[in-house]
Chain A
């Protein structure tokens, strides 16, 4: 069965510091992978997606993620965090039948 694990419930970083959010997935075939961001009281917004090809994908707002098949991971990174990046981040995997499975999320706090 498909599943997504985000090991870090909450992360705090200083503004300007680098960021890495972890995501591990379980899926039988080549997965389609996504990162979404959710600000308080808002819906989810797509940051980036991986379908195939280059394993390093670029997204909006300066985010990138790297697909590592051997580690079943799709970690999200940003070289320099801004205060406006404080939000909840969700990793998701798309499977057969157009079903999407989400992780439990990582809450990001940015310290000025």
Chain B
């Protein structure tokens, strides 16, 4: 079974530029998450999708971050304009979950963003 695919693996940009990350979840997984992991910290949820609908985006900085999951499969996370503090690894995870978190998340390898 293919895992969660993410691209690009690495991206270096200057502040105020824009960047986009792509995620292809495991086939059949309805739930998709984007996490931000700053060096030395645990993953922080940015946005959660159920199929192509947003379940939780309360921690997404909406003035600069946006995400979509068209057709309930692939997802794109965009940052525009980027700030220095956006330097982090962006992790995509997917799962076929029952209510209340009873399931397992599968993670991609992450996209490491460096903002100069």
Contacts and interface: CB of A to CB of B under 8 A. Distances in A.
Same complex? yes
Interface residues of B, number: 30
B33 A100 contact: yes
A46 B56 contact: no
A63 interface: no
Interface in A40-89: 41-46, 49, 51
A29 to B, nearest CB: 8
Interface size, A (range): 20 to 34
Contacts of B35: 102
Given A43-B110, A45-B107, A100-B33, A94 B100 contact: yes
B109 A99 contact: no
B41 A42 contact: no
Contact of A43 (B44, B56, B108): B108
A98 B56 CA distance: 10
Task: List the 3 closest pairs (A to B, CB-CB), nearest first.
Answer: A94-B101, A43-B107, A102-B42
15 contacts: A34-B104, A34-B105, A41-B109, A43-B109, A45-B107, A46-B106, A90-B42, A90-B43, A96-B99, A99-B45, A99-B101, A100-B101, A104-B40, A104-B41, A105-B41
